Amino acid sequence: MRHHDDAPEQEEEIEWVSKSEMKRESQALQKLGESLVKLTPHELDKIPLDNDLLEAIELAHRLQGKREGLRRHMQYVGKLMRTRDVTEIQKALAGFDHKNAEVNAQFHKLELWRDRLIKEGDKGVNALLAEHRDLDRQKLRQLARTGRKELAAGIPPKAYRELFQYLKANIDV
């Protein structure tokens, strides 16, 4: 006589995934690999990558300019990405994107100040100095005045750029 448990064996449910969905996931992972290839070696050091994936990314850097070879190699990088847990990689890349957005916002604020200084002159300088007392009033006035003259004359905006560089170096936004 056979002894068997009263409870029937639970079969694991197999989740059906369409071919289109698998293709979309593969393409998303390949795009993630492409974004890794766009990073500098210094940035890649901050991302948790295994040796195989890191070597594939370094090879992709060397294949820049070889269109078809790079395309095929990116497919290989996508294949490597499919066999790994990419959540840590995605988190690290999201951190880079967030930092880039912050830097862009800071530059935008500096550009607004520069444009305001050139447009308003002394009034803009006084407004900026009210917020940032450590700046050199004379230098700001001189660069704003010269920038206004350059724009009016249609000559290359040297002082315009200098004003931005001065603001970038001396203001912590």
Q: How far is CA 88 from CA 91, 93, 117, in A?
A: 5, 9, 44
What proportions of the chain, in percent to the nearest 5, are helix, strand and coil? 70, 0, 30
CATH number of 19-84: 1.10.60
Assess whether pLDDT exceeds 90 at residue 114.
yes
Report the pLDDT averaged over residues 39-47. Answer: 87
| Angle, helices 137-153/122-131, rounded to nearest 10 degrees | 140
Assess whether pLDDT exceeds 70 at residue 73.
yes
| pLDDT > 90 in the chain, percent | 44
Report the pLDDT averaged over residues 26-41. Answer: 89
Q: How confident is the model at residue 64 (pLDDT cuts 50, 70, 90)?
A: confident
Q: What is 92-156 written as a DSSP string?
A: HHHHHHHHHHHHHHHHHHHHHHHHHHHHHTHHHHHHHHHH-TTS-HHHHHHHHHHHHHHHHHT--
- The answer, as to whether pTM is greater than 0.85, is no
Name every residue whose Cβ is closer than 8 Å to that of residue 28 and which is 6 or more positions away in sequence. Answer: none
Assess whether pLDDT exceeds 70 at residue 158.
yes
Answer yes or no: same fold for 19-84 and 98-170: yes
Which fold does the domain 98-170 belong to in CATH?
Diphtheria Toxin Repressor; domain 2 (1.10.60)
Assess whether pLDDT exceeds 70 at residue 83.
yes
Domain boundaries, the chain: 19-84, 98-170
